[in-house]
């Protein structure tokens, strides 16, 4: 009974603490038409201290979305266009010689910011990708013999274009795993596109107002960690991840030949964190199975390796995740 009271108390507290979420969505909605899933995913990444990989054809407001998010939070924003001739120094900075002072000085790169948009990450060579991924994982950058911590909040939003494969360097599986979510952005509906066209041909393009400080986000992250995750939900999360590794144990023998490797422990951690953040966005103090299901595809999509058999039969990781969710018993 005591636990029930605690959850009620927690629920009230989280309802109060999450009041800014609706305001943030309203501000982003002024600029971004539709794309609710993209906006929710950005908020999940922001609130659970995770990075996001966006995949979608050009022109779907991927850049605009993160730009708008940076506007609503009084935060610094950098956009880095990844190209085949980019060097790690262009990203993290380098040592330059000052003739005046007769010594080497550090010139920090565009990574020293709150929000980084890594545009077309798969266009840059492996060296640049690994420099960015080190910064994402360690939250620090080494220039020369000095290590510099990155500012909080620090969110990397990388985009990749699924159409062109020429002149691209696909991200290695181990590096893709560093992204908390991989979000596939789709075309808007016809009604939404009508509004998009109107907005863009109008005299003035709408702009989001600043309503939060970076400190508000850091505080909110601590509150998200307090969201109640029941043991039954924990077991549900673990069952889902383990089903990607050992499908035969869950009555999904047909996937044994389809899956090369399943989700790592990072998948379980991120699934739990993203579920908590999703519950917070829905202004609830506890996680329900629907929260897990809502974030499951984005968390696991890039963490399941497919065999040649799966590719030959045109089976995608999304199909496997959907089947797992339909098979595993919901608590």
| Residue 12 domain-assigned (yes or no) | no
Average pLDDT (62-68) is: 81
Residue 1 banded pLDDT, cuts 50, 70, 90: very low
- φ, ψ of residue 294 in degrees (nearest 5): -65, -35
Both 134 and 268 in a single domain? no
Tokens standing for 207? Answer: 């702009």
Listed residues 182, 217, 252: the one ending a domain? 217
Distance CA 268, CA 129 (A): 25
Q: Which residues pair with 174 in a beta bridge?
A: none
Cα–Cα nearest to 20, from 189, 221, 292: 221
Please compute the mean of the pLDDT values over residues 242-261 and round it to a whole number. 88
| Mean pLDDT computed over 44-60 | 86
Let me know if residue 319 belongs to a domain: yes
100 within some domain: no
132 and 190 assigned to the same domain: yes
The domain boundary, picked from 159, 183, 217, lies at 217
Co-location of 147 and 29 in the same domain = yes
> Is the residue at 260 inside a domain?
yes
Residue 98 forms part of a structural domain: no
Tens-digit pLDDT profile for residues 284-318: 888 999 999 999 999 999 998 888 888 888 888 88
Asked if 154 and 206 sit in the same domain, the reply is: yes
Higher pLDDT, 158 or 62: 158
Q: What is the average pLDDT score of the chain? A: 85
Model confidence band, residue 241 (pLDDT cutoffs 50, 70, 90): very high
Domains contained in the chain, number: 2
Range of the domain at 248: 227-327
Residue 316 lies in a domain: yes
Q: Residues 236, 198: one domain?
A: no
Q: Where does the pLDDT of residue 278 fall: very low under 50, low under 70, confident under 90, or very high at 90 and above?
A: very high
Cα–Cα–Cα angle for 155, 157, 158, rounded to 5 degrees: 140
Nearest in space to 185 (alpha carbons), one of 23, 52, 321, 26: 52
Which pLDDT score, from 0 to 100, does residue 123 have? 84
Percent of the chain with pLDDT over 90: 16
Cβ atoms 128, 168 nearer than 8 A: no
Residue 226 to residue 181: CA distance in whole angstroms: 21
Q: Are residues 61 and 185 in the same domain?
A: yes
Higher pLDDT, 241 or 195: 241
Report yes or no on 5 lying in a domain. Answer: no
Where helices occur in 161-264 by DSSP H, the ranges are 173-176, 190-201, 214-225, 231-245
Residue with the bigger pLDDT between 272 and 30: it is 272
Using an 8 Å Cβ cutoff, are 141 and 150 in contact? Answer: yes
Residue 173 makes CB contacts below 8 A (sequence gap 6+) with 305
Q: Are residues 270 and 137 in the same domain?
A: no
Overall average pLDDT of the 112-135 stretch: 85
Specify whether 209 is located in the same domain as 233.
no
Q: Mean pLDDT across the stretch 271-278?
A: 94
What pLDDT digit, counting tens, does each position of 148-173 carry? 898 888 889 888 877 666 666 777 77
- The CATH number given to whatever domain includes residue 136 is 3.40.50.300
pLDDT score at 167:
60
Task: Give 105's strand partners.
Answer: 96
Closest by CA to 170, choosing from 125, 118, 212, is: 125
Name the most confidently modeled range: 33-37, 159-163, 206-210, 326-330: 326-330
Q: Are residues 145 and 285 in the same domain?
A: no
Enter the DSSP assignment of 330.
P
Tell me whether residue 106 is in a domain.
no
Q: Are residues 191 and 44 in the same domain?
A: yes
Domain stops at, among 195, 217, 239: 217
| 241 and 201 in a common domain | no
Q: Does residue 237 register a pLDDT over 80?
A: yes
pLDDT of residue 254: 85
Could you tell me if 72 and 114 are in contact, meaning their C-beta atoms sit under 8 angstroms apart?
no
CATH number for the domain that contains residue 307 = 1.10.8.80
Q: Are 128 and 212 found together in one domain?
A: yes
**Confidence band (pLDDT; 50, 70, 90) for 239?**
very high
For the chain, what is the largest distance between any 2 Cα atoms, rounded to a whole number of angstroms? Answer: 72
């Amino acid at each position: 009974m005591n636990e029930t009271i605690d959850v009620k108390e927690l629920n009230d507290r989280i309802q109060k603490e999450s009041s800014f979420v609706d305001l943030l969505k309203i501000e982003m909605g002024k600029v971004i038409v539709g794309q609710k899933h993209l906006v929710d995913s950005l908020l999940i990444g922001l609130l659970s201290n995770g990075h996001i990989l966006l995949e979608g054809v050009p022109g779907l407001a991927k850049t605009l979305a993160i730009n708008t998010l940076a506007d609503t939070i009084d935060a610094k924003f950098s956009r880095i266009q990844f190209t085949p001739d980019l060097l790690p120094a262009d990203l993290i900075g380098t040592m330059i010689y000052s003739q005046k002072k007769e010594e080497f000085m550090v010139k920090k790169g565009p990574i020293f910011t709150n929000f980084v948009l890594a545009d077309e990450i798969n266009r840059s060579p492996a060296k640049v990708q690994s420099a960015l991924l080190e910064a994402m994982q360690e939250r620090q950058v080494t220039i020369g013999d000095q290590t510099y911590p990155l500012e909080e909040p620090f969110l990397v939003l990388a985009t990749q274009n699924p159409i062109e494969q020429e002149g691209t360097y696909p991200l290695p599986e181990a590096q893709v795993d560093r992204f908390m979510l991989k979000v596939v952005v789709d075309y808007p509906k016809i009604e939404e596109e009508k509004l998009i066209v109107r907005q863009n041909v109008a005299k003035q393009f709408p702009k989001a107002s600043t309503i939060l400080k970076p400190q508000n986000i850091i505080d909110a992250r601590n509150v998200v960690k307090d969201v109640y995750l029941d043991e039954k939900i924990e077991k549900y999360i673990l069952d889902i991840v383990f089903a990607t590794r050992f499908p035969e144990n869950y009555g999904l023998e047909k996937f044994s030949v389809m899956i090369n490797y399943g989700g790592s422990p990072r998948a379980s951690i991120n699934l739990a964190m993203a579920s908590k953040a999703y519950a917070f966005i829905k202004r609830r103090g506890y996680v329900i199975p629907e929260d897990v299901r809502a974030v499951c595809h984005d968390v696991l999509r890039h963490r399941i390796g497919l065999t040649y058999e799966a590719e030959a039969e045109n089976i995608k990781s999304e199909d496997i995740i959907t089947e797992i969710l339909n098979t595993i018993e919901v608590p």
